[in-house]
Structure 1
Amino acid sequence: MPRFYESKYPDVDQLVMVQVQSIEEMGAYVKLLEYDGIEGMILLSELSRRRIRSVQKLIREGRNEVVVVMRVDPDKGYIDLSKRRVSAEEVVKCEEQYEKGKTVDSILVQVAKKRNVPAEDLYEKIAWPLHKQYGHSYEAFKLSITEPDAIFGSLNLDSDTLADLRAVIARRLTPKPVKVRADVEVRCFDYAGIEAVRRALKAGEALSTEEVPIKVRLVAPPLYVMTTTSTDKALAIERMEKAVEAIGEKIAEEKGDMTIKMNPKVVSDTDDAELKELMERFEAQNMDVAGDDDESEEDE
């Protein structure tokens, strides 16, 4: 188990991720996952703010928990921890930090295997110095995708290690494009209804940007699907929401209406396949209708 940070022991008041090893009369013995699995204890009185009716409902063996460090005695190896003093917001913050640490560890372990060196050596040469400089080595790794010289220039790494490190980081941390989709029904029964719908849809597409290109396709009147593909999920959803809003405002001006059938969300390949099948089914139905018309004309 790795030590994510240079210090052998955590600081007092620091949030840490632990895994529960056993539950005894005095409390729970745990191992600190970010500190090489060293042992700590959550005293029974520090498990919950409320009266403890069942310890098993509060904490279980094998489960990861976010706790705060109360006392550290390096000489005796004692680390006292508290679960009850941790807020919900702090849990989220610590979980995010831990996930970043796991990602960095995974990258360094892969590089260590390729270079046939101990992962601890790479922590000393790479992760710990970058952690001091950037607040977390994960943030430095992300920046290195576009600014490798600025990030790694001061580390004095050999060319092979640097090449392997950059390759693994690029594979793990380069943002992957996501597809965002929204389904809307747009109607207008006014005299220029078709043109009004077209203008409304164009108002949505007009909010496209280079990062978030928006396209609108007809499924079957009055149902339209809006899609975009972007490496920035949050930005894509935000932009699509504004596009849906623009369509709604424009069609309302044209005395029509819009119904949102699906709010903007990230969709999977399965969702795409289902949409394609739906569109093909409507297309086949339209062809059947056209064929029936031809037959009726011949009968006449």
Structure 2
Amino acid sequence: MSNGDQDWPKEGEVLMCTVKKVEKFGAFVTLDEYGDIEGFIHISEVSTNWVKNIRDFFKEGRKVVVKVMRLDRSKNQVDLSLKRTTEQQKKYKIQQWKQRQKAEKLLEMVSKKLKKSPEKTVEEVVDRLLADYPDLYSAFEDVVRNGTQVLTKHNVPKAWVDHLSEVIMANITLPTVTIDGYITMQVFEPNGVELVRGALAELAKPIDGDGDTKTSIQVIGPPRYRVTLEAEDYKTAESMMQSRVGAAEVFLKGHDYRFEFSRSSK
């Protein structure tokens, strides 16, 4: 099923490929994201070290992450490099590929249930979503984040909306990040314990704009507390941490207190 593939890759692009044939001076691969166009990895582009046996790096049928070095459309030729891809690029591409496969599998499940042909599926869902999203998985994540309106505003037919949104919600989980903060908090008044509890409650209380942010508080040992905050991205997490910490200290204003916040446990 199409996922919005372009006709031809770009120089410098990182691709997922399948090894088709291994020869003495290089390996032929198919470009999985480009309709199985064929590319070639010369032995000089396999490793920064001397390659004694090219089959230590390639086996027919296996996936490899490579970078496009040169293109010649007139000769239908794509020169690729394995050694010029970083570990970070490989990790990202593998994750992206797995997400793509998952999104297509979910779409296929629903298309079979609705008895839709691949062509109709592309017309009614894929093309409409890819008009605004880089890939299906990104669109599906937005459905989890913002609900069925993501599908309806792209004019996806109602039958698709009902069944696809259900499958997406059950199978797609938004990525999250976690940050920690450390608070030293004391109140030097007779009701200090109650005031500290109130400040901790403010720390855990949802704030407008929180979204799916989650907060947990661990007592390290009074007056030290660890705050763990989980959010969709670091920018949101940092913003929410500052908002919550600020609300906790505001609760203590007017009292004789000590309040210190640090991102370090020391």
Q: Which residue of 2 aligns with 1:44?
A: 43
The yes-or-no answer on 1:105 pairing with 2:108 is: no
Q: Which residue of 1 aligns with 2:78?
A: 79
The yes-or-no answer on 1:167 pairing with 2:166 is: yes
The yes-or-no answer on 1:70 pairing with 2:66 is: no
The yes-or-no answer on 1:150 pairing with 2:153 is: yes
5 Å-filtered alignment, 1:108-187, equals 108-119=107-118, 121-144=120-143, 145=147, 146-151=149-154, 153=155, 157=157, 159-173=158-172, 175=174, 186=184
5 Å-filtered alignment, 1:1-300, equals 2-48=1-47, 50-54=48-52, 59-61=57-59, 62-68=62-68, 70-71=70-71, 73=73, 78-86=77-85, 90-91=89-90, 94-95=93-94, 97-119=96-118, 121-144=120-143, 145=147, 146-151=149-154, 153=155, 157=157, 159-173=158-172, 175=174, 186=184, 192=189, 195=192, 198-199=195-196, 202=199, 205-206=202-203, 208=205, 209-210=207-208, 211=210, 212=213, 214=215, 216=217, 224=225, 226=227, 232=232, 234=234, 235-236=236-237, 239-240=240-241, 254=257
**Superposition deviation, residue 122 in structure 1:** 1.8
Cα distance in 2 for residues equivalent to 1:179 and 1:70 = 37
Calculate the TM-score normalised by the size of structure 1: 0.58
**Superposition deviation, residue 202 in structure 1:** 1.4
Q: Name the structure with the higher helix share.
A: 1
> Which 5+ residue runs of structure 2 have no aligned equivalent?
none
Cα distance in 1 for residues equivalent to 2:182 and 2:43 = 54
Secondary structure (helix, strand or coil) at the match of 1:80 reads strand
Q: Judge conservation of contact 1:12–1:72 (CA < 8 Å) in 2.
A: no
Cα deviation, 1:33-61, whole Å, max 9, x if unaligned, reads 3235454321222224x343456698343
Q: Judge conservation of contact 1:187–1:222 (CA < 8 Å) in 2.
A: yes
- Higher-Rg structure is 1
User: Aligned Cα RMSD in Å?
Assistant: 4.8
- CA distance 1:260–1:227, change in 2 (3 Å): closer
